Structure 1
């Protein structure tokens, strides 16, 4: 069996863990920071969405450049800009300035994450795609769960400024870790036109987009919802993180043995149930049950969908495929934060989570109708088609 746990794979996986932890520390704390500055729900959604939408614009170009010039230059440049942007939160003086900073931060997020994720997928043996992607995605989504908890803890125990500086420190560690990794990908020597559009992966982008609309609602509004019902939102993210860490490696191996569809279909159903439970929650018990279900559902579906994305793409277009996947996730999170911000302002958080459940239902239907049929039609080989795929 081909070796998965190489030094470079470990360094890159840890680098992603630190980077994503720093990034997601801001998700529950920035809405509270904006409220403290005098902002409303609409401005919370705008500020949270501005980062994701700016990254959406840039990612397809980054993907094409990665396939032409390699991963390392963009990885280092993106991380340096990310560190600078994170530090600048200490100097924000108003909502307009914050939105401008979020746009710059989104650009750094697009470059750093697309290059790092593509570099990791280069390192995973094709025969262990599901397992490898399960572990590497676990580091990211574990950070998505642990990051908010750490951010809230530091903010509540000290100050926003201390939290921003801690996030800067984590980002520096991510940069140092990735500098020690070897990049197996060799840049193309031909002078063909740089391609930013990868049509082979378009069918799977819609299910991913609608899945991440709900995720945008979870990360942005669970802290505010928890505050309303007198529950510590850190508990939700802690239980979600623990569940995800336990379930994702199992889902990855199942994906290798039975195929991604066998994982995605039940996972999306469980995610829908999680959001419905959260919608009706009025106490800690409902929040905990929802966190467990969402950890299993979202945690299993996300890496399997990314695996399909990379398997659909040609071998020399992995950078573009990763960029498209991340574009769909960013667009979903960004628009989700904005649209659901309006829902929460004019309706309620309970309605917000029901709308989120509806979004995952749409993701489920699109996957069943289009993606599953496509996979059956093409009869995609699992591990034998490429030797540098992920998930």
Structure 2
């Protein structure tokens, strides 16, 4: 299963996502402390996620025109080069265009990587293959989220921005060995194919919460506590994603949707105690576990029902649209609710997706090995 192409694709993805995660929580803090406040922080994340969503819609067409290799390279360039401009100013007129370019790069990178994983691994081991891919791309969040926040204070924002740009561009070294295959073009109608909407909406609910947590947890308490909590989440997510893949190959991934939602809801509910270090860190570990389970289970269920590049685009669209909506929406309502009530509303939003988990329990024959 771990072919040369699979290893190179993972290396390129890890490099690009390290550059992304180093800045994901750091840029909102940079913008907020630079004078734009919490609304500006949410706008920076929201703009990046908007561009990501728009790019993801175009990636199936892009792959059919230029192939996997060129698309992966383009994504890395767009993630890396604009980051080097951020030291010039924390003002939104500079930060927002940079966020838009980096968001487009992220959209291209993640859709290409997910679709290529589905193409490279045997169908009967797809859940485990997606789990291994999830572990690989989880490493950048484990390192990038807490290190980016810490380094921004210890070494200055400029050092973090340069490191993020260089990390993404370093991934170009692995791109030359990727297949240049061009998958068949997927029409817009097929992105919303039969049986895909339910799992996509379930996943969107948890990604809304992810956007809220990553953007605003450092502002709800102390950056130091947020770093520890985000590290706990980042460790739990890929481990849960891999275990969910192994379970799903044997017993069916649809069975994991409801437990994943419940774990994520409980984790966010614990964030109501914003000043309690144990509750915050334990809650983010629990949320990360639910998030990891849903990452694998929703994607595996969707791949059972649709074509690789189209499913990858729709799933990543749910991922990034949810994160963007969470960041921007929470920033707008925060002044009316405060952090504890806001976190309670996010937990309730996720809980409302539980009825949709039944759509993911369509029976499939587990693989026997």
Unaligned runs of 5+ in 2: none
Alignment counterpart, residue 173 of structure 1, candidates 160, 170, 173: 170
Alignment counterpart, residue 60 of structure 1, candidates 54, 57, 64: 57
Aligned pairs (5 A) from 1:260-339: 260-313=253-306, 317-339=307-329
Could you tell me which residue of structure 2 aligns to residue 389 of structure 1?
Answer: none
Moved more, 59-68 or 119-128: 59-68
Could you tell me which residue of structure 1 aligns to residue 203 of structure 2?
Answer: 208
Q: Tell whether 2:347 aligns with 1:357.
A: yes
**Given the superposition, is the C-alpha separation of residues 116 and 92 from structure 1 closer, same or farther in structure 2, using an over 3 Å criterion?**
farther
Q: In 1, distance between residues paired with 2:352 and 2:11?
A: 33
After superposition, the C-alpha distances for 1:86-135 in whole angstroms (9 at most, x for unaligned) are 22222335212211221122222222222222222211111111111111
Secondary structure of the structure 2 residue equivalent to 1:285 = helix
Could you tell me which residue of structure 2 aligns to residue 237 of structure 1?
Answer: 230
Could you tell me which residue of structure 2 aligns to residue 341 of structure 1?
Answer: 331
**Count, aligned residues:** 365
Q: Tell whether 2:189 aligns with 1:197.
A: yes
How far does residue 181 in structure 1 lie from its aligned partner after superposition?
A: 3.2
- Are the counterparts in 1 of residues 19 and 79 from structure 2 also a CA contact under 8 Å? no
Q: What CA RMSD, in Å, does the superposition of the two structures yield over aligned residues? A: 2.2
Secondary structure of the structure 2 residue equivalent to 1:348 = helix
- Are the counterparts in 2 of residues 270 and 293 from structure 1 also a CA contact under 8 Å? yes
**Given the superposition, is the C-alpha separation of residues 287 and 307 from structure 1 closer, same or farther in structure 2, using an over 3 Å criterion?**
same
Moved more, 109-118 or 39-48: 109-118
Secondary structure of the structure 1 residue equivalent to 2:25 = helix
Q: In 2, distance between residues paired with 1:73 and 1:246?
A: 30
After superposition, the C-alpha distances for 1:346-370 in whole angstroms (9 at most, x for unaligned) are 32111221122112112322223xx
Q: Tell whether 2:213 aligns with 1:221.
A: no
Higher relative contact order (CA 8 A, sep 6+): 1
**Given the superposition, is the C-alpha separation of residues 248 and 112 from structure 1 closer, same or farther in structure 2, using an over 3 Å criterion?**
closer
After superposition, the C-alpha distances for 1:288-320 in whole angstroms (9 at most, x for unaligned) are 21122112211111111111122210xxx3112
Q: In 2, distance between residues paired with 1:280 and 1:66?
A: 45
Secondary structure of the structure 2 residue equivalent to 1:181 = coil
- Are the counterparts in 2 of residues 129 and 383 from structure 1 also a CA contact under 8 Å? no
**Given the superposition, is the C-alpha separation of residues 69 and 177 from structure 1 closer, same or farther in structure 2, using an over 3 Å criterion?**
closer
How far does residue 137 in structure 1 lie from its aligned partner after superposition?
A: 1.3
Secondary structure of the structure 2 residue equivalent to 1:249 = helix
How far does residue 220 in structure 1 lie from its aligned partner after superposition?
A: 0.5
Q: In 1, distance between residues paired with 2:16 and 2:98?
A: 18
**Given the superposition, is the C-alpha separation of residues 283 and 127 from structure 1 closer, same or farther in structure 2, using an over 3 Å criterion?**
same
Aligned pairs (5 A) from 1:5-154: 5-67=2-64, 69-92=66-89, 94-154=91-151
Moved more, 238-247 or 321-330: 238-247
Q: Tell whether 2:242 aligns with 1:249.
A: yes
Q: In 2, distance between residues paired with 1:249 and 1:130?
A: 8
**Given the superposition, is the C-alpha separation of residues 93 and 216 from structure 1 closer, same or farther in structure 2, using an over 3 Å criterion?**
closer
Q: In 2, distance between residues paired with 1:147 and 1:54?
A: 21
Could you tell me which residue of structure 2 aligns to residue 387 of structure 1?
Answer: none
Q: In 1, distance between residues paired with 2:90 and 2:331?
A: 23
- Are the counterparts in 1 of residues 252 and 365 from structure 2 also a CA contact under 8 Å? no
How far does residue 179 in structure 1 lie from its aligned partner after superposition?
A: 2.7
Q: In 1, distance between residues paired with 2:143 and 2:250?
A: 29
Unaligned runs of 5+ in 1: 385-391
